[in-house]
Amino acid sequence: MTIQWLGHACFAITHKGYTVLIDPYNADYTNGYPRLRVRADKLLVSHEHFGHNYREGVQLSGRPESDCPFEISTLRVPHEFKLGNWRGFCDIHILEADGYKLVHMADLGTQLDGGQISRLYGADVCMICAGSATALPSQEAKRVTDEIMAKVIIPMHYRDGNRGGHRLEMIRDFAYHFESPDFIHYYDTDTFRVTPDMEPQVAVLRYLGPEAWTELAQIPEKEEKKSLLAKLLRRK
């Protein structure tokens, strides 16, 4: 199972040859990121804000739901401290497969209550905003990861050079709240592999851009039609 960070809050999660893409961003409203043009087998959107709902940038394969290896559930949470009265609500997505629990926290804007903590408790991987002007600040986001006892924490939705809104905190602001510097792992890749022996850590993935998305690249329309025709002929 692999988790590839495509920038902002967007991830491609692949297991058994099946790819789920979460929260595609619209580059017109997301500073510093190029236009998103990728393909996936399934698309999940946490909420209807431009940094998370760019469906036009995702080409779906058309594979049936029965092919999906994940059991997927959601948990609705407020986007901000005014309990949804300002920016509305968003859905935390919980993906479970083969004993692993992966959690995409969306733009969580409040602390979790006891029932919500129970739903997310023991997450193997938690993808969380590392400090957002429109979601939890970095210190409160770190507190959430403590409460759900996440094993691996992948920061997202932060400012990185010229990428990300100027009001967002930087990754060093999030990392500061963890006692041991050794707990923070900086990777030279945008992909994290989920394995039984992965060690507890904050996994800071490196944004590599479209050049690293070759396996997710959209298929030209003519090639897509040829591929579909070939599949139909094989079934006869």
Model pTM? 0.89
CATH code of the domain covering residue 170: 3.60.15.10
Query: If you count them, how many residues does the chain have?
Result: 236
172: domain range? 2-235
**Model confidence over 89-130: pLDDT tens digits?**
899 999 999 999 999 999 898 889 999 999 999 999 999 999
CB 103 within 8 A of CB 127: yes
Q: CA-to-CA distance for 2 and 21, rounded, in angstroms?
A: 12
pLDDT at 222: 56
The domain total for the chain is 1
Q: If you average pLDDT over residues 208-222, what whole number do you get? A: 87
CB 70 within 8 A of CB 15: yes
Q: CA-to-CA distance for 197 and 132, rounded, in angstroms?
A: 31
Nearest to 158 by CA among 54, 30, 28, 48: 30
**Model confidence over 138-186: pLDDT tens digits?**
999 999 999 999 999 999 999 988 888 778 899 999 999 998 999 999 9
CB 163 within 8 A of CB 200: no
Q: CA-to-CA distance for 176 and 171, rounded, in angstroms?
A: 9
Q: CA-to-CA distance for 41 and 95, rounded, in angstroms?
A: 14
